[in-house]
Structure 1
Amino acid sequence: MNKQRIVWLHEQLPEWEAKGWISKEHAAQMRVFYGTVDTTQGPSLRRLLVLLLGLLLTSLGVFLLFAGYWYSFSPAGRMDWCIALLLLAVIALGLGLWKAPRGSIYAEGIGLFYVAALTISTVLMSDTYYTGEGWGFYALIIMLLTLPVIYLLGSGFTMMAYLLIGLLWSVSAREVTMWGEPVWLWLLLAAGSPFFAEQLRKRTRSYLSTLWLSWAYVAAIFGAFFFTITSYNLSLGLFFVASLSAATYALGSLSREQGLWSLPFRGIGVLGLMYVVVYGTFISTWQEEAAASADWLSIGLGIVALILVAGGLNALWQKRMGTDLLITFCPIVVGLLMLSVHWGVTPLTGSILFNVYVVLLAIVLLWQGTVTKRVGLVNGCIFTFLAMIAARFFDPTFSFVERGFTFMVTGVAIFAVNLFYMWRKQSQQAQVNTSVARANRRLRRRQTLGDDEHIEVTDTGEHTESAGNYTSAPSDDRTGADAAKSATVKEDGNMAYTAREQESAAAVSSDKTTARKGESSDAQ
């Protein structure tokens, strides 16, 4: 029951007792029945968001006060302010470790304040002393100093901030240095995986934060993946993206029954596959792949990605998830087409074959979504077609004639699929209506035959009908339910009429036996 209603009831019971509406015994029983109000430690999530908003506004006010005078301070003065901010964050962290329970609301707030203070101080110091390092170096320092705090406080929101910093590292403009290479980012993401696994185990207590953490973790992994491809100029880039997206989607599909926490894996996996669809339809993608030379690092990572996809396909095959299996098969097709381009197939042929594959896959998924009534598959097919149309419109390598032909083929395909869907829907409705009409005619026919058989002729030659067997002839507009009810009444009437005949015959036989006994006694 709602807590506010329970509180209101406890407030009203004394007044009801005073007015004599209920007795003291009944009031005591009501208090015991509705029980006490469950108290929670600390503020609620909504209250925490309001408090964070107030803290953010206060921080912005302080920032604006310092912004106008910041550069008037000497470098040593700026250093002092940054150290004071860090000292305040460390004191708050110590109080949190001493008093705040692990994973509580207070621990979440202290962790976020610590990350914010550390990030602001690092950025201000880099601006003051012009160190010249890229964002990757500063992100490495912040993440290294934040990781122990995450485990000590058990703060999921601090982990989200940690992953957000890693995502900013992967998408920022940079020159890869020794301390800004992708390998450090991968190691830091792997170091946070035990905490993510811990949050998944206790997701029943903090379900919403676990869902948000899943989104952040998957996004950080994809960012690190793109960071790796662009930093080392790897070939087979589209195959790598397709493999990671398909494996992520397969993991989310296999974990669908465990709750909504797997939704980010499916969602980001689908977004990655949409990226593959859009860029795979461009001729320039295949031209660049044909001109690139595959190095040993690309080949080795390609083998690892292939093993990852094969594992996902095997797991989906064992669970007989055919639709998800077709979606996860996308990187295999992309890899084969890339190999064919390297072996002499023209980029135009590779692009056309990939477009044909995407159209066929969309049609199959639309059919599966219609049969299994999964709206997500139907919407995914629609978005796939829209992405292909947008790609054709902005592709400069196609002439106006080729773009027009592509639009025509896509439009005809959309019309054909929708017309087939409408025809199938109408045929199903007609089949259902025909079966219902056939059932109604069958019931009416049985009722008519039953009326003809239940007419009986008495010994006097007069045609009589039993009261239990009497029913009117069925009209043309009588429904099947009324006909079935009338047939039941007739069967009950026949049973009653037969029972009465047996009772009458038994009575006549008894009278004849009594008369014979009387005649024999008179003769004696």
Structure 2
Amino acid sequence: MSPKITNDLHDLLKDNIITAETAEKIKAYYSQKESGSEHKLYLIFGVLGAILIGLGVVLVFAHNWDNLSRLSKIILSFLPLLIGQFASGYSLLRKSENNAWRESSAVFLFFAVGTTISLIAQVYNIPGDLSSFLITWMLLCLPLVYLIRSSIVALLYLIGITYYACNTNYFSYPNAHSYYYWLLILGIVPHYIQLLRTNSQSNFTLFHNWFVSLSLLICLGTIAHRNENLLYLSYMSLFTIFYFIGESSFFKNLKLKNNSYLIIGKLGILYLLLLYSFKWFWDKSIYNTISAKDTFFSTEFLTAFLLTLFAAVLFYAKNSKTKFKEITIFDFVFLTNILPFISGYEFSLVANGIVLAIGIAEIKRGNTQKHLGILNFGLVIITILITCRFFDTNLSFVIRGIVFIAIGFGFFATNYIMLKNRNRNEK
């Protein structure tokens, strides 16, 4: 505990402001807090040390690799793996409750597996591509997540399978598809659920929330085959599902930075609605597909249908608890997957109205809750919408300038009024 806190406690006791029992509780609180900070530092430096050692070993091998015999290459190829297994075994048997030991040894073993696979393949000239290497590496390292209870390896696994999906589909399209990704991500689900149940406020859980949501967001596009223009339907449903997850009682009680689903869901919905508001967007819409059969029986449409159905289930689950009395505009957004089939060009007008309604609703909510962040978020939405409309109109620069000046004054006025009311209430 810092000397300043100790001196402050001594003064508070001397002036009879707090009791001795309260002082002891405060000392215990700060001692535990400082101990937790030190533990985090040990964990961070331990993992960084394991990564640097692994990279150093690889560089030493690479420098002298061509001068070694085949037997020497084989021995050195398995050496990092043996060291990693020994360290992990020691962590399990002797340091099972020490997170720094477990995470550091697991991370070292994770990279050792990848190093050994690549070196042995090089020694024996085993053919293969990056995708097959990544999927083999990730599958071999997945058990580490559960045997050593390593959350960092789980995050590295998520990065690995995401890159595998991108490399297989985006970088090699249309020669291959990475459907295995959807099976691979299921392997991390039990560990993720356990983290949410036991330690929802931890940094590990925070990173898992963001990594899982971003991985799904990036890899949803891998389902594209011949009807890529239908992907926006799937993404709208995915963003809506994220929004409903973020609005659930469990995630809503978390800090905003921990609630990646709510942040990504809301921003994604607004981005797509703004995209829908442009008439040129519908020039490449579903109406340009080859035939109705190609549209309704495509992988993209079936995926969008299933995601929309799931969003409808979450809509009912969220609002049935309040007997549908607290429905927001965001709750209805998944229905926009139906409206474009009526008339895409006319739907651009509907999208403008939805975005405007969302902006006004956020301003009203911010004003009701006396929350400047929410109020300014609503103002930003309306500002972006007006800016987008400038690209669709032939208004003069003078009129555009006047509108922006008015919006700027609106920002200042609303914030000033709210701050003034807040100060008045505090008095």
**Structure 2 residue aligned with 1:318:** 320
**Structure 2 residue aligned with 1:242:** 236
Separation in 1, partners of 2:58, 2:383:
45
Q: How far 1:58 sits from its partner (Å)?
A: 4.1
The superposition leaves residues 44-88 of structure 1 with CA deviations (integer Å, 9 ceiling, x where unpaired) of 111222333344444444444444444666777655533222232
Is 2:267 the partner of 1:276?
Answer: no
Q: How far 1:336 sits from its partner (Å)?
A: 3.0
Q: How far 1:238 sits from its partner (Å)?
A: 0.9
Q: How far 1:138 sits from its partner (Å)?
A: 2.3
Q: How far 1:241 sits from its partner (Å)?
A: 0.7
Separation in 2, partners of 1:208, 1:155:
13
Q: 2:311 is matched with which residue: 303, 309, 312?
A: 309
Q: How far 1:208 sits from its partner (Å)?
A: 2.1
Q: 1:216 is matched with which residue: 211, 217, 239?
A: 211
**Structure 2 residue aligned with 1:415:** 406
Gaps of 5+ in 2: 8-22
Is 2:171 the partner of 1:171?
Answer: no
Q: How far 1:125 sits from its partner (Å)?
A: 5.5
Residues 19-30 of structure 1 aligned to structure 2 (within 5 Å): none
Is 2:352 the partner of 1:355?
Answer: yes
Q: How far 1:409 sits from its partner (Å)?
A: 7.3
The superposition leaves residues 264-292 of structure 1 with CA deviations (integer Å, 9 ceiling, x where unpaired) of 22122233224424543444532222212
Secondary structure in 2 aligned to 1:402? Answer: coil
Separation in 2, partners of 1:265, 1:287:
31
Separation in 2, partners of 1:429, 1:102:
52
**Structure 2 residue aligned with 1:149:** 144
Separation in 1, partners of 2:354, 2:312:
20
Residues 70-81 of structure 1 aligned to structure 2 (within 5 Å): 70=65, 79-81=74-76
Q: How far 1:151 sits from its partner (Å)?
A: 0.9
The superposition leaves residues 150-202 of structure 1 with CA deviations (integer Å, 9 ceiling, x where unpaired) of 11111112211111112222333433699x74432111212221111111121
Separation in 2, partners of 1:56, 1:175:
30
Q: 1:187 is matched with which residue: 177, 183, 188?
A: 183
Q: How far 1:118 sits from its partner (Å)?
A: 2.0
Amino acid at match of 1:145: L
Alpha carbons of 1:65 and 1:145: their partners in 2 closer, same or farther (altered >3 Å)? closer
Q: 2:283 is matched with which residue: 283, 287, 290?
A: 287
**Structure 2 residue aligned with 1:17:** none
Separation in 2, partners of 1:362, 1:253:
18
CA contact (8 A) 2:166 2:222 kept: yes
Secondary structure in 1 aligned to 2:196? Answer: helix
Q: 1:131 is matched with which residue: 127, 130, 138?
A: 127
Alpha carbons of 1:404 and 1:124: their partners in 2 closer, same or farther (altered >3 Å)? farther
Amino acid at match of 2:374: L
Alpha carbons of 1:380 and 1:127: their partners in 2 closer, same or farther (altered >3 Å)? farther
Higher Cα Rg, which structure: 1
Separation in 1, partners of 2:231, 2:312:
18
Is 2:369 the partner of 1:372?
Answer: yes
Separation in 1, partners of 2:389, 2:397:
7
Q: How far 1:216 sits from its partner (Å)?
A: 1.6
Separation in 1, partners of 2:108, 2:398:
53
Is 2:99 the partner of 1:97?
Answer: no
**Structure 2 residue aligned with 1:117:** 112
Separation in 1, partners of 2:129, 2:41:
40
**Structure 1 residue aligned with 2:155:** 160
Separation in 2, partners of 1:268, 1:258:
17
**Length-normalised TM-score, structure 2:** 0.74
Separation in 1, partners of 2:398, 2:327:
28
Gaps of 5+ in 1: 10-29, 434-524
**Structure 1 residue aligned with 2:393:** 402
Alpha carbons of 1:251 and 1:427: their partners in 2 closer, same or farther (altered >3 Å)? closer
Q: How far 1:299 sits from its partner (Å)?
A: 3.7
Q: How far 1:234 sits from its partner (Å)?
A: 4.7
Q: How far 1:389 sits from its partner (Å)?
A: 6.8
Q: How far 1:40 sits from its partner (Å)?
A: 6.9
Alpha carbons of 1:61 and 1:366: their partners in 2 closer, same or farther (altered >3 Å)? same
Deviates most, 267-276 or 168-177: 168-177
Residues 317-466 of structure 1 aligned to structure 2 (within 5 Å): 317-320=319-322, 325-333=328-336, 335-340=337-342, 345=343, 348-385=345-382, 388=385, 402=393, 404=395, 412=403, 415=406, 419=410, 422=413
**Length-normalised TM-score, structure 1:** 0.62
Q: How far 1:109 sits from its partner (Å)?
A: 1.3
CA contact (8 A) 1:389 1:410 kept: no
**Structure 1 residue aligned with 2:16:** none
Q: State percent identity of aligned pairs.
A: 19
Residues 56-95 of structure 1 aligned to structure 2 (within 5 Å): 56-70=51-65, 79-95=74-90
Residues 6-21 of structure 1 aligned to structure 2 (within 5 Å): none
Separation in 1, partners of 2:309, 2:185:
21
CA contact (8 A) 1:252 1:263 kept: yes
Deviates most, 239-248 or 274-283: 274-283
Higher relative contact order (CA closer than 8 Å, sequence separation 6+): 2
Separation in 2, partners of 1:104, 1:354:
49
Amino acid at match of 2:306: V
Aligned residues: 394
CA contact (8 A) 1:312 1:328 kept: no
**Structure 2 residue aligned with 1:515:** none
Q: How far 1:403 sits from its partner (Å)?
A: 6.2
Q: How far 1:110 sits from its partner (Å)?
A: 1.5
Alpha carbons of 1:84 and 1:429: their partners in 2 closer, same or farther (altered >3 Å)? closer
Q: How far 1:115 sits from its partner (Å)?
A: 1.5
